[in-house]
């Protein structure tokens, strides 16, 4: 092509989250490769770093679930033409539907190529099916690929590309440990951590599916067996989640570990908290497409204990099988925790799930699709 390719990514908003982070990571790779990178969303706090990195942002609410959103289809179609889009890449369901309607109304000989990424294991229905309609469908794990083929059997497997989410080894370097000053400040905020007991860390927003209850019961089981720990529920105290936090406090009281549980608001120093922990927990009771926390913690060299379920189980089996426990098996979970705490085993460095690998593979999908015959 005589000009750099233009890639347009679409998602509801640019606030915190895995989808948003992945969008910025691919935007950065596009800019580094000399491509034109454009993101369409309703905006958010990540717009500034996106633009500072050399991408363009167009503010358009493509995530509002209402019939009025259909009026955005003609505008999207005009934008795709005006921008000279070569690739349109939808990252969630409503933006994918709007993109698809706009794309279908364009000349099939010249319209951009259509890519989707299935980031989650959404409910199986006609609304979610759009994520399997891309000319290329990026699956963030083998679990997602299997989910698509099992629930959307008309999908051509040849259109699916497994590109796991990734960790930046610069941000999460193997062997990283926070300095003594950081630890003093963190313990000063949470004096219950001043004891010599090892820390267990579960990082996740304040929602029941993240498995905070399992973590509290695990701390209780360990105490009952003579092992003192301190459990850090990192990021659980969010606006509007007071009732859930009260539930967790009551659960900790009932199990006799209220003095051993710390609940924090979302923090910027997640890496340091994980790195200072003896064990990172990933106890989601709902299947997740990819266990980003698993990969981040293991890359730091911190053992991870989690349920052998969906994407989390996939990453544990691949990188740290001794950290995988049967889903919901309280006894097995405690046994695994005791073994990991007693053994002091640290995960070895690994060369998979790297940010640069994910970026290169995604750009390769764009190139492949541009060169592929049109249907």
- Average the pLDDT over 347-374 and give the result: 95
- Phi, psi torsion values for 313, nearest 5 degrees: -60, -35
Question: CA of 120: how far to CAs of 83, 117, 297, in Å?
Answer: 29, 9, 21
- Six token digits for residue 64: 């509002």
Q: Tell me what pLDDT residue 250 has.
A: 97
Q: What is the dihedral sign for C-alpha 96, 53, 367, 351?
A: negative
- Average the pLDDT over 307-318 and give the result: 95
Q: Rounded to a whole number, what is the distance in angstroms from the first to the last CA of the chain?
A: 20
* Domain limits, the chain: 6-166+354-371, 180-343
Distance CA 29, CA 130 (A): 26
Q: How many helices (H) and strands (E) does the chain have?
A: 13, 13
Q: Tell me what pLDDT residue 206 has.
A: 85
Question: Higher confidence at residue 76 or residue 15?
Answer: 76
DSSP state for residue 125 in the 8-state scheme: S
Over the stretch 138-153, which tens digit does the pLDDT of each residue have? Answer: 999 999 999 999 999 9
Over the stretch 327-345, which tens digit does the pLDDT of each residue have? Answer: 989 999 999 999 999 987 7
Q: Tell me what pLDDT residue 1 has.
A: 44
For residue 214, which of 271, 273, 255 has the smallest C-alpha distance?
255
Does the fold of domain 180-343 match that of domain 6-166+354-371? Answer: yes
180-343 topology per CATH: Rossmann fold (3.40.50)
Rg, the chain, Cα only: 22
Q: Place 2 in a pLDDT band, splitting at 50, 70 and 90.
A: low
- Average the pLDDT over 177-206 and give the result: 92
CATH 1.10.10.60 fits 6-166+354-371, yes or no: no
Q: Tell me what pLDDT residue 171 has.
A: 92
Question: CA of 266: how far to CAs of 15, 21, 73, 81, 244, in Å?
Answer: 14, 16, 36, 41, 15
């Amino acid at each position: 092509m005589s000009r750099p390719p233009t890639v347009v990514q679409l998602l509801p908003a640019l606030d915190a989250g895995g989808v948003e982070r992945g969008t910025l990571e691919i935007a950065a790779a596009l800019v580094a490769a000399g491509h034109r990178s454009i993101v369409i969303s309703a905006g958010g706090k990540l717009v500034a770093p996106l633009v500072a990195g050399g991408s363009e942002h167009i503010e358009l609410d493509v995530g509002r679930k209402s019939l009025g959103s259909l009026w955005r289809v003609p505008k999207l179609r005009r934008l795709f033409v005006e921008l000279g889009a070569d690739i349109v890449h939808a990252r969630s369901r409503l933006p994918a539907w709007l993109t698809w309607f706009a794309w279908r109304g364009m000349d099939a000989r010249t319209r951009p190529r259509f890519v989707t990424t299935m980031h989650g294991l959404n409910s199986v229905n006609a609304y979610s099916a759009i994520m399997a309609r891309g000319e290329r469908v990026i699956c963030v794990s083998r679990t997602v690929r299997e989910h698509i083929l099992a629930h959307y059997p008309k999908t051509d497997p040849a259109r699916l590309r497994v590109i796991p989410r990734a960790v930046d080894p610069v941000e999460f370097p193997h062997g990283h440990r926070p300095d003594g000053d950081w630890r003093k400040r963190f313990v000063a905020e949470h004096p219950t951590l001043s004891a010599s007991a090892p820390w267990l860390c579960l990082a996740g927003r304040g929602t029941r599916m993240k498995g905070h209850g399992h973590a509290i019961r695990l701390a209780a089981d360990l105490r009952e067996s003579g092992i003192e720990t301190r459990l850090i529920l990192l990021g659980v105290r969010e606006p509007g989640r007071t009732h859930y936090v009260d539930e967790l406090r009551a659960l900790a009281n009932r199990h006799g570990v209220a003095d051993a549980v710390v609940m924090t608001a979302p923090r910027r120093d997640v890496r340091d908290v994980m790195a200072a922990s003896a064990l990172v927990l990933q106890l989601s009771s709902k299947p997740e497409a990819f266990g980003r926390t698993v990969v981040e913690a293991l890359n730091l060299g911190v053992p991870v204990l989690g349920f052998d379920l969906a994407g989390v189980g996939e990453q544990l089996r691949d990188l740290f099988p001794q950290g995988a426990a049967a889903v919901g098996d309280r006894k097995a979970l405690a046994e695994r925790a005791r073994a990991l705490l007693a053994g002091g085993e640290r995960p070895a460095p690994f060369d998979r799930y790297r940010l640069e690998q994910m970026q290169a593979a995604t750009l390769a999908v764009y190139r492949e699709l541009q060169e592929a015959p049109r249907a």
